[in-house]
Amino acid sequence: MPFSGNLRTTGMGILPHRDPKPALELALSLDIPFWPQLPKRDFYEDMYVQAAENFPGIILDIKERRIFLHTERFVTELEKALTNIEKDDFLRMSPRFSATYQDFLSRDLGKYISIRGQLEGPVSFGLNILDENKKPIIFNEEVRYLLFEFLARKANVQLKELKGKNANAFIFIDEPGLQSIFSSFSGYTDRMARADYDHFFTLIDHPRGIHLCGNPDWEFLLDLDIDILSFNAYNLGEVFVKYKGAIKRFLDRGGMLGWGLVPANYEELTKESKDRLATHLTSLFRELTEAGFDLNQLLSQSILMPATCALTNPDEAITVERTYLWLKELSSELRRHYLSIREGD
């Protein structure tokens, strides 16, 4: 990564706001701002729909809020996609698919330590988007091959635009469905995913990473050629830190960790306190340092995030805005805490 983490803050791509203005203001209030996705505002803001723009065969049913792929239409539109796949204008996200992206890019973003984008990942996309026969499109070899190529090029166009505003920009590939490939019920195996991902990341510029809230095989992810991994440390931190060998390899080659510390879910946040959350993170760090991890390295290669996005809270955006406030306050408090430890040494 082209900058030090030092427990700086960034957020989830998805926010529950309907109005783009307060959503963008919230995103810009962080150390590492991002452009928000607002699926409660418009179906075009759905992360799968945004990724699907100009992918051949995709049908959007706006009224029913459905997205699927029609195989015959895919074949018909494939030539056009292949003809245009190297053109930025074909791959760039249009204003119809995001109410915040162009506004975000119009801001003065060079003053931040970094900025961040996001794009839905090919594994989650391929497993969740079905064809007309209700079959996940990842099992169609022709579709799968184009899907990985298409989304890699789409990520590159976004990353290039972000770097035009801030040289330290990076992008998350969001993979909420990735944990399912480690289940015996998935016909798309981790070996298949590894081969596809090894190729996929050769096509994407650095810095790039993966974000997910679930519980996959962490060694699988940490050994991928990524620069940053974002995970739900609030619910899964104790599991994650057991993978000490893989974490050490990841950090030693320069990788950064995004610790999802503050819950955004109403039920979880209402039973928490900032003190308990701070204690939770320091206990995870302590387990690693007691195993021989260098604290300075761990701090410099860590940022803080919400644990998850949250679209179903009964109070709309109120809980999420409180989450982001706590996130910023905890970042300041924890940085002071670890600074005092360093000075004591």
Phi and psi at 153, nearest 5°, equal: -65, -35
* Host H or E run for residue 260: strand 256-262
Q: Please enumerate, as own/partner, the contacts of 70-78 that have beta carbons within 8 Å and a separation of 24 or more.
A: 70/131, 70/132, 71/131, 71/132, 71/140, 74/142, 74/143, 78/146
Q: Is residue 73 part of a domain?
A: yes
* Calpha distance 310→321 (Å, rounded): 11
| Residue tagged 């996959």 (tokens) | 216
Q: In this structure, what is the dihedral angle of CA atoms 129, 200, 165, 51, given to the nearest 10 degrees?
A: -10
CA distance 138 to 125: 8
CA–chain centroid gap for 35, Å, is: 12
Tokens representing 172 are 């998350």
CATH at 324: 3.20.20
Distance CA 157, CA 174 (A): 16
- Domains of the chain: total: 1
In a domain, 1, yes or no: no
Whether 327 is in a domain gets the answer yes
Q: Write down the pLDDT at residue 343.
A: 57
Evaluate whether 3 touches 36 at the Cβ level (below 8 Å): no
Q: What pLDDT score was predicted for residue 173?
A: 97
* pLDDT at residue 184 in the model: 54
Give the pLDDT score at 192: 87
Cα 95 to chain centroid distance, Å, stands at: 21
User: Largest alpha-carbon pair distance within the chain?
Assistant: 67
Grouping H, G, I as helix, E, B as strand and the rest as coil, residue 116 is strand
List of residues 6+ apart from 227 with CB closer than 8 A:
1, 170, 206, 207, 208, 209, 254, 255, 256
Q: Give the model's pLDDT for residue 165.
A: 98
Give burial (CB, 10 Å; 0-12/13-18/19+) of 7. Answer: buried
Q: What is the pLDDT of residue 187?
A: 77
Query: Residues near 241 by Cβ (< 8 Å), separated by ≥ 6?
Result: 247, 284, 287, 288
Residue 59 belongs to a domain: yes
Closest CA to 145 of 223, 199, 215: 199
Within a domain: 3: no
137 in a domain, yes or no?
yes
In this prediction, residue 55 carries a pLDDT of 98
Considering the domain boundaries, does residue 254 fall inside one?
Answer: yes
Q: What pTM, to 2 d.p., does this model score?
A: 0.94
Residue 223 placed within a domain: yes
Rounded to an integer, what distance in angstroms lies between the CA atom of residue 71 and that of residue 153?
Answer: 22
The pLDDT value recorded for residue 206 is 97
Rounded mean pLDDT for each run of 10 residues along the chain, 345 residues in total: 96 95 98 97 96 97 94 97 96 96 97 98 95 95 95 98 98 89 72 90 96 91 96 97 98 98 96 97 98 96 95 93 98 91 60
pLDDT of 163: 98
Q: What is the pLDDT of residue 38?
A: 97
Q: Which residues pair with 34 in a beta bridge?
A: 116
Q: So what's the pLDDT on residue 221?
A: 94
Find out whether 148 and 124 touch, Cβ atoms under 8 Å: no
Token representation of residue 58: 């995709």
Q: Which domain holds residue 207?
A: 8-344
Q: Do residues 154 and 119 touch, judged by C-beta distance below 8 A? A: yes
What is the number of alpha carbons within 13 Å of residue 26 lying toward its C-beta?
Answer: 29
pLDDT for residue 342: 62
